[in-house]
Amino acid sequence: MAEKYVEMWKTLDMNIEKHNQLLNGLGQYYTRAILSQKNRPKKMDYFDFVVSEVHGLRIKELNDLRSAGKKVVGAFCIYAPEELVYAADATMVGLCGGADFSIPDAETVLPRSLCPLIKSFYGFKLNRTCPYFQSSDLVVGETTCDGKKKVYELLNELVPTYVIEVPHKPDTQQGKEFWFKELEAFKAEIEKLTGNVITPERLSQAIELINNKRRALKRLSDLRANSPSPISGLDGLLIDQIGFMDDISRFTVKVNDLCDELEQRVRDGEGVAEEDAPRIMISGSPMAVPNWKVHSIAEASGATVVVEESCVGTRYFTDLVEPESIGMKDLLWAIDEKYSKIPCACFTPNDRRIESIMQLAKQFKVDGVIYYTLQNCHDYNVEGVKVERALKAQGLPMLKIETDYAMGDSAQIKTKIEALLEIIQGKREH
Ligand code: BJ8
C-alpha cells in the first residue's frame, strides 16, 4: 500500500518514515492475530480488505470528500453525537488510539502514569502517523474521565479540539437538561464548521442512517448468542472496531451480508470453536484498533468470546435514537435520551451497567467474565468491585485483567485465563 499513497500522505503532513514502520508492524500483527484464525466466514473478506486499505483507500475517500468542500470530524468516545455531524453533511471517524507504537512519543510530553488509550492518541497526533487525525478538520472530545479532559487541552495546541461537557449524573432531570444544552451548543458548532444548517429533515435522515448501523451491529451481536457461536470473538470485535472508520452506509450493508451468512451457519450448526468451549464475556474499557490482545489469548486458550460489554461493543448499539416526532426539539431530546443510557463508568451511580452485564450474561449464556481495565483507568477499575459482587451472587466467575497495549504481559494473562477456564471446567463437572 505504501508506494501508492505516499503522495497523499505527504499532502496530509504525515511522518512518512515513521508511518511505514507502523504499517509494517500492523500488517504482521494482523496476519498473526486475525488471518491465522480457522474457519472464518467468507464475508469477512470485505472487512479484511477494509483493514488492508485502512490508511489508504479510506483516507482517499475522506480526502475526496474534503476536496468537495465537506468536513471530517474525529472523535474518541461514543458520547460524540454523530447524528449531528452527519446531519450537517460532514463525516465522523474514530481516531487512532489503540496501539503501543505512539506511546514513547507521547511520554516525551505526558506523564507515564496515564491510561494507554490517552497516551496512544496523543502520541499519534504528535508523531503524525494517524491519517485520520491528519484528515480531521475538528476533533470532538468529551469530559468523561480526568485524563482525557486534561489532555484535550494539550491536543488543542495541535489540532482544533472542541470539548463537550458530559453530565456525570445523566439519569437526573438536571443531567438530562444540561446534556440537552450541550447538544444544542454542539449543533451550533458543527453548523459553524460546515456552513450547513441542520434542519429537522436532515437530522431525521442522519438518525435513521446511524440507527441502521446500530441495528446491523446488534443483529451480528445477537447471532453470537447461539451455541456454537458462528463467528469468533476476535472477528466480532474487529467488525465493531472497523465500524468507527468505514463509510457508514456501505458498512451497514456489509454487516448485514455477513449476518445472512452467519444465519446459515447457525441453521447448519456450524461454529468456530468446539461446541463445549467456555463462553466468555469481556467487559470493561474499550478496545480500539489494533487492540486484540485479550481476545487472541482467550480464544487461543480454548475459550470463545461471545460478547463485549464495551463501547466497542454492546454499549454502542444497544439503544437507538427514537424520536416522538420530527420536530427539532423532539429529535434532540431523543438523542439526549439515547446517549444518557450509555453506561460509561465515569457516571455515578452507574447501576445501569451492572444490570446490563447481568442481562448480557444471561442472553449470551456466558460461563465467566473477563473484566478488562486499561492501566490507570480508575473508573473501570473501581467499578469492577460492584460488577464482581453482582456476578458472584449469580455464581459466575470473574477474572480481572489490568493491562496496557504492550505484549510483555501476554504469558501472564494466558496463565490467568487458563486458570479461569479450569474453574469453569471444574464447575461444569460438578
Ligand atoms: S463512553 S468508556 S468511549 S469515555 S480514556 S475512561 S479507558 S482512563 S475510553 Fe470511554 Fe466514552 Fe466512557 Fe465509552 Fe478509562 Fe482511559 Fe479514560 Fe477511557
Task: Give the nearest ligand 1 atom to 145 CA.
Answer: 16
In three state form, how does the secondary structure of 345-360 look? CCCCCCHHHHHHHHHH
* Residue-level pLDDT at 3: 83
Q: Which of 314, 346, 348 to mutate to test the pocket of ligand 1 (most atoms within 8 A of CB)?
A: 346
pLDDT-based confidence at residue 262 (cuts at 50, 70, 90): very high
How is residue 365 written as a grid cell? Answer: 449464556
Quick one: residue 314, left, alpha or beta (phi over 0 = left, psi -120 to 50 = alpha)?
Answer: alpha
- Percent of the chain clearing pLDDT 90 (strictly above): 98
* Residue-level pLDDT at 153: 98
Q: Which of 76, 287, 377 to mutate to test the pocket of ligand 1 (most atoms within 8 A of CB)?
A: 377
* Residue-level pLDDT at 1: 60
Per-residue pLDDT reduced to its tens digit, 48-91: 999 999 999 999 999 999 999 999 999 999 999 999 999 999 99
Coil, strand or helix: which one is 120? helix
Report CA 254 to chain centroid distance, whole Å: 18
* Dist. CA 149 → ligand 1 center (Å): 11
Nearest to 162 by CA among 181, 134, 143: 143
Nearest residue by C-alpha to atom 14 in ligand 1: 377
Q: What are the φ/ψ torsions at residue 322 (nearest 5 degrees)?
A: -125, 85
In the predicted model, is pLDDT for residue 2 greater than 80? no
* 80 Cβ below 6 A of ligand 1: no
Task: Give the nearest ligand 1 atom to 377 CA.
Answer: 8
Contact 168, 344 (CB under 8 A): no
* Residue-level pLDDT at 259: 98
* Residue-level pLDDT at 426: 95
* 287 Cβ below 6 A of ligand 1: no
* Residue-level pLDDT at 189: 98
Nearest residue by C-alpha to atom 3 in ligand 1: 77
Per-residue pLDDT reduced to its tens digit, 94-117: 999 999 999 999 999 999 999 999
Q: Which of 379, 401, 402 to mutate to test the pocket of ligand 1 (most atoms within 8 A of CB)?
A: 379
In b/e form, how buried is each residue of 364-391, taking b as 16+ CB within 10 angstroms? bebbbbbbbbbbbbebbbebbeebbebb
* Dist. CA 344 → ligand 1 center (Å): 7
How is residue 76 written as a grid cell? Answer: 474518541
Task: Report how far residue 411's alpha carbon sits from residue 157's, in angstroms, rounded to the nearest whole number.
Answer: 39
Coil, strand or helix: which one is 312? coil
Nearest residue by C-alpha to atom 2 in ligand 1: 344
Burial of 144 (0-12, 13-18, 19+ CB in 10 A): buried
* 380 Cβ below 6 A of ligand 1: yes
How is residue 167 written as a grid cell? Answer: 453530565
Q: What are the φ/ψ torsions at residue 287 (nearest 5 degrees)?
A: -120, 105
Whole-angstrom CA distances from 292 to 58, 240, 288, 384, 404 are 21, 12, 9, 21, 12
Contact 374, 341 (CB under 8 A): no
* Dist. CA 263 → ligand 1 center (Å): 33
Contact 288, 132 (CB under 8 A): no
In the predicted model, is pLDDT for residue 192 greater than 90? yes
* Dist. CA 285 → ligand 1 center (Å): 6
Nearest residue by C-alpha to atom 1 in ligand 1: 344
Task: Report how far residue 50's alpha carbon sits from residue 25's, in angstroms, rounded to the nearest whole number.
Answer: 17
Report CA 273 to chain centroid distance, whole Å: 24
Coil, strand or helix: which one is 378? helix
